[in-house]
Structure 1
Amino acid sequence: MEAHKQAVRTVSATVRALFERAEPYRIFHGSTNSTRPPTQKAGARMIDISGLKRVLSVDTARRTALVEPNVPMDRLVELTLPHGLVPPVVMEFPGITTGGGFAGTAGESSSFKHGYFDENVKSVEMVLPNGEVVVATPEKGGKYEDLFHGAAGALGTLGVATLLELQLVEARRFVRATYRRTGSVAEAVSVVKEECKPEKGNDYVDGILFSKDHGVIVSGKLTDELPSDNAKIQTFSHAWDPWFYMHVRDRTNALPSSAASGENTEVTEYIPLAEYLFRYDRGGFWVGQAAFDYFKPVPFTRFFRWFLDDFLHTRMLYRALHGSGESGRFVVQDIGLPYESAEPFVDYVSDKLGIWPLWLCPLKTPAGPTFHPHLRSSPNSTNGEQGVAGEMLNIGVWGWGPKNRDEFVKANRDLERRVADLGGMKWLYAHTYYTEPEFWNAYGGYQNWYKALREKYRASSLPNVYEKVRIKVDGSEDRGWKPWLKALWPIGGLVGIWKGIKSMDYMLHRNATWKWKGIGGNAKEKAS
């Protein structure tokens, strides 16, 4: 703990010095799961907190963990599972950090039950913009309650998170996963809502739309029991394992829709808990297929997915995406929508963008004000209405956009307008093209609430949320010889591969201890 305190004192002193000079700064974490161009931070002063990456303690009796902000999900799970515990919400990419989960918007297939990641944070230590160190909690009437709720999702614009106390829940050895086939978008949305009902007893629910007439809703229940001693255990982390989305598609191709009566419309299998939590890591959902689209001579076959496995995990894919410059051609958007808006939105994406598959993830959302997607009091609220707690559906839209930059920007701008028309809200990790008035309109008109918080906690000299997320549309990021050179195929892709190799992030997966090693071969198995 003393090493942590010393690191925080250093951060505090650096921040205080910048505050006294009224000099803005941004936070350097050492990694990112944002798709915004790295040039967004060019020239900015950085506060380096990349060394804050330790799990300081796990309290089995209280089911809590003290965790520094740059602890990634896989490391967190590796250190809580031996205690028979796991975070209620574990983001599906192993490299997403606890601090990123708090300062950004992070939900997963357990979020219909537990809400966003920050709703399971009991307290957060923060260095305020003047260098003061405080501890904020969500407790009603607490001194820093407003800071806690304001900082959650505000992308570090109210201060620097340096320590989080996380609530944990009891873990089990396996997830009993059921894949339920649907034959229309309306049916898929209806089945998602059905599987989220408390009487179903599910711990996890999400879905994949492969097309309008082939959807699969995945529900999961934690269990320690297998149906028999020789039951097959399905894994997804090893190089010869299937990619999860392809596996689910293939297992359900021949099944009838769940609307069919008296027929088998689902399949069930058993997945080790950590293998389930990080089931989308290999291939980054299905975005990894885009790498094969780019390097077209390389066939998208199981052999080459095995042979190139080191490059096809999410950490490496993010390195390649940024290094290659292809993030400027790839639509990566997560949208939170009221359930009744889901079908018209899918129709829009199909007609205008032609992107498939689509991810479905049900969410329990808080009331505003917040930068998290949440239900508005009215579909086009512009007067600062706080919104209401409720349930939404996250639809993940990830795929190639138009090659022409102007057309790419227009496609994203059109999508933003359609989302607003349908009463939805975006995740802010992705490309954001709103004008400033559009941004504050889209986020519930919370500008005055946010401004008051920034003034109270003396954060006005820092970039605000809009300034951090907006993408410049003047083409300035495409100028110069480097962007021109990387735009020449296959130079950009090769630069991305080199950046990935240089990072050595592939070693993190090679050496991961959460990967299933068989009965008795994993930490929790040994502990039990």
Structure 2
Amino acid sequence: MSLRGWTAHEAAVERLRSSYARIPAGSPVRLAKKTSNLFRPRAATSAPGLDVSGLDGVIAIDAAARTADVQGMCTYEDLVDATLPHGLIPQVVPQLRTITLGGAVTGLGIESTSFRNGLPHESVLEMDVFTGAGEVVTCRPGPDGEHSDLFDAFPNSYGSLGYATRLRIALEPVPAYVALRHVRFDDAGLLAKSIAQIAESGSYDDTRVDGLDGVAFAPGEYYLTLATWTERGGATSDYAGQRVYYKSIQQQETDLLTIYDYLWRWDTDWFWCSGAFGAQHPLVRRVWPRRWRRSDVYHKLLGLDRRFSIADRLDRRAGRALRERVIQDIEVPVDRLPDFLDWFDGAVGMRPVWLCPLVAKRDWPTYPLEPGRLYVNVGFWGTVHVGPEAPEGPRNRAIEGRVHELGGHKSLYSEAFYDRETFDELYDGDNLAAVKGRYDPQDRLTSLYDKAVKRR
């Protein structure tokens, strides 16, 4: 992959400014893009948006300093293609290829290195943000950092404070391979204690752990996958072919992947969600083109289902109860993980679910996890037959309440139902409003509450 370069970047930013100038005064400002990794409804609009063409690449890599300057619309797939030849990767690489750098920072990305490196925004050294006032400001962290108030509030703001045009991020060195060990647990309490011990020591059975995540397949069947970076090669597994990665966790205790295949091990089958389209059936998989075994392809298929209500029509024809989409990622303190899993089994009953430990390095006001405290992200993505009340989101509302009771938080990439008072309490609404007022005085950008909760 060729680097975009500073001159091309500056030209793309100028096109962005020009597109802002063409939006009528008082009209909402939003990106002119058709694709998204979000799962909450967005209102269709024919109004002009911000031109982000040319803001989807890597500007420069400093291999000696282990940093990269990256445009906000650059996907992690393209970034990894640029950094891996240098033996480097971002400190956190979210699981899906088409997640963008700007999206992972203004939203919340996560992956198996998050137990030691935090979330993607914690490896950002500085960033340029295009604000609702039509200005590009360079933000840096720390008490003396320029525009540090915007830098601090930006994570979890989902475009309500502006859009990142450039991010300078820290990279880490990696070898060619990743050795995996899948460890089964029958007890959720022991699972949680083991996660805590690994996060504290950085090892398991005297073996270094560089990546840590897991899967809860059923009550009493939990696995942690321990990843160790290694230069020791050998026969590697290929989960972009006929085999399905998540099934291998139950089938074998150890595995070896290239670092590239490890980074995208979940993308090929969108964790396990590709099964809804038949892509895991051996006969279908043989004729399903390899290049189409990707999360963005499945996302488009899901969009067609939602557009034409295909699943709902089939359910009605078969006499099945109406479905509620339960697509969420939540974080709870590690010691409350058994409580949440036990409650989730009874109240929702969806399995498998993904488990990913994380530790925030510092306080981030718009997603205030306690710094230094170990949390576990629980990801669940599917539907539940609930009946005529499905449009009201009863399962999603119950999840929000339970997560709040357990001292956790919920990501906002999907549907949310909080009332305004609770939302502001959980996501530091007063500070968010104050920062927005400073950088978007004409209120051109949609507020976070309106984006995440209000139906439009």
TM exceeds 0.5? Answer: yes
The answer as to whether partners of 1:365 and 1:373 remain within 8 angstroms in 2 is no
The answer as to whether partners of 1:35 and 1:322 remain within 8 angstroms in 2 is no
347 and 43 in structure 1: CA distance in 2 versus 1, 3 angstrom threshold:
farther
Superposition deviation, residue 30 in structure 1 = 4.3
Q: Identify the match of residue 9 of structure 1 among 14, 23, 38.
A: 14
In structure 1, distance between residues paired with 2:231 and 2:44:
46
190 and 302 in structure 1: CA distance in 2 versus 1, 3 angstrom threshold:
farther
Amino acid across the alignment from 2:410: K
Superposition deviation, residue 373 in structure 1 = 5.9
In structure 1, distance between residues paired with 2:435 and 2:138:
16
Bigger mean CA deviation after superposition, 322-331 or 342-351:
322-331
Superposition deviation, residue 13 in structure 1 = 3.3
Q: Identify the match of residue 50 of structure 2 among 30, 47, 50.
A: 47
The answer as to whether partners of 2:28 and 2:445 remain within 8 angstroms in 1 is yes
Deviations along 1:406-426, one digit per CA (max 9) or x if unpaired, are 235111111111111111110
Deviations along 1:149-174, one digit per CA (max 9) or x if unpaired, are 11122111112211111211112100
- Structure 1 segments, 4+ long, off by >6 Å, are none
Match of 1:256 in 2: none
Match of 1:156 in 2: 159
Superposition deviation, residue 340 in structure 1 = 2.1
Match of 1:356 in 2: 351
Amino acid across the alignment from 2:170: Q
Match of 2:326 in 1: 331
Amino acid across the alignment from 2:353: L
49 and 93 in structure 1: CA distance in 2 versus 1, 3 angstrom threshold:
same
Deviations along 1:230-263, one digit per CA (max 9) or x if unpaired, are x3212222x22x2111111222xxxxxxxxxxxx
In structure 1, distance between residues paired with 2:438 and 2:236:
53
Residues 1:36 and 2:40 aligned together: yes
Match of 1:304 in 2: 284
In structure 2, distance between residues paired with 1:41 and 1:112:
38
In structure 1, distance between residues paired with 2:135 and 2:100:
24
- The alignment covers a number of residue pairs equal to 430
Match of 1:452 in 2: 434
Q: Identify the match of residue 296 of structure 2 among 292, 315, 318.
A: 315
Superposition deviation, residue 184 in structure 1 = 1.8
Where does 1:115-130 land on structure 2 (aligned, <5 Å)?
115-130=118-133
Match of 1:216 in 2: 223
Amino acid across the alignment from 1:223: T
**Structure 1 portions without partners, runs of 5+:** 252-266, 293-297, 376-387, 478-528
Secondary structure of 1:419's partner? helix
Match of 1:465 in 2: 448
Secondary structure of 2:31's partner? strand
The answer as to whether partners of 2:76 and 2:94 remain within 8 angstroms in 1 is yes
The answer as to whether partners of 1:65 and 1:166 remain within 8 angstroms in 2 is yes
In structure 2, distance between residues paired with 1:319 and 1:312:
12
Match of 1:407 in 2: 390
In structure 2, distance between residues paired with 1:75 and 1:173:
18
Report the identity percentage: 27
The answer as to whether partners of 2:31 and 2:49 remain within 8 angstroms in 1 is yes
Match of 2:81 in 1: 78
In structure 2, distance between residues paired with 1:269 and 1:285:
17
The answer as to whether partners of 2:423 and 2:429 remain within 8 angstroms in 1 is no
Q: Identify the match of residue 390 of structure 1 among 373, 388, 394.
A: 373
Q: Identify the match of residue 401 of structure 2 among 401, 417, 422.
A: 417
Amino acid across the alignment from 2:438: K
The answer as to whether partners of 2:96 and 2:266 remain within 8 angstroms in 1 is yes
184 and 302 in structure 1: CA distance in 2 versus 1, 3 angstrom threshold:
farther
In structure 2, distance between residues paired with 1:416 and 1:155:
19
270 and 356 in structure 1: CA distance in 2 versus 1, 3 angstrom threshold:
same
**Structure 2 portions without partners, runs of 5+:** 1-5, 312-322
462 and 305 in structure 1: CA distance in 2 versus 1, 3 angstrom threshold:
same
In structure 2, distance between residues paired with 1:324 and 1:48:
29
Superposition deviation, residue 67 in structure 1 = 1.0
In structure 1, distance between residues paired with 2:96 and 2:336:
27
In structure 2, distance between residues paired with 1:204 and 1:283:
20
In structure 2, distance between residues paired with 1:399 and 1:138:
38
In structure 2, distance between residues paired with 1:100 and 1:51:
16
Superposition deviation, residue 312 in structure 1 = 4.1
The answer as to whether partners of 1:29 and 1:50 remain within 8 angstroms in 2 is no
Superposition deviation, residue 405 in structure 1 = 5.5
The answer as to whether partners of 1:243 and 1:280 remain within 8 angstroms in 2 is no
Match of 2:318 in 1: none
The answer as to whether partners of 2:155 and 2:364 remain within 8 angstroms in 1 is no
Amino acid across the alignment from 1:8: V
In structure 2, distance between residues paired with 1:370 and 1:221:
33
In structure 2, distance between residues paired with 1:363 and 1:12:
37
The answer as to whether partners of 1:191 and 1:217 remain within 8 angstroms in 2 is no
In structure 2, distance between residues paired with 1:190 and 1:399:
28
In structure 2, distance between residues paired with 1:44 and 1:193:
49
In structure 2, distance between residues paired with 1:28 and 1:434:
28
Superposition deviation, residue 367 in structure 1 = 4.5
Q: TM-score, normalised by structure 2?
A: 0.89
The answer as to whether partners of 1:329 and 1:405 remain within 8 angstroms in 2 is no
199 and 428 in structure 1: CA distance in 2 versus 1, 3 angstrom threshold:
closer
In structure 2, distance between residues paired with 1:309 and 1:283:
13
In structure 1, distance between residues paired with 2:395 and 2:430:
30
In structure 2, distance between residues paired with 1:221 and 1:467:
42
The answer as to whether partners of 2:202 and 2:210 remain within 8 angstroms in 1 is no
In structure 1, distance between residues paired with 2:349 and 2:377:
18
Superposition deviation, residue 141 in structure 1 = 1.1
Deviations along 1:308-346, one digit per CA (max 9) or x if unpaired, are 355542011111112210698431110010112211111
The answer as to whether partners of 1:16 and 1:129 remain within 8 angstroms in 2 is no
In structure 1, distance between residues paired with 2:202 and 2:136:
44
Amino acid across the alignment from 1:352: A
Secondary structure of 1:47's partner? coil
In structure 2, distance between residues paired with 1:147 and 1:451:
11
Match of 1:271 in 2: 257
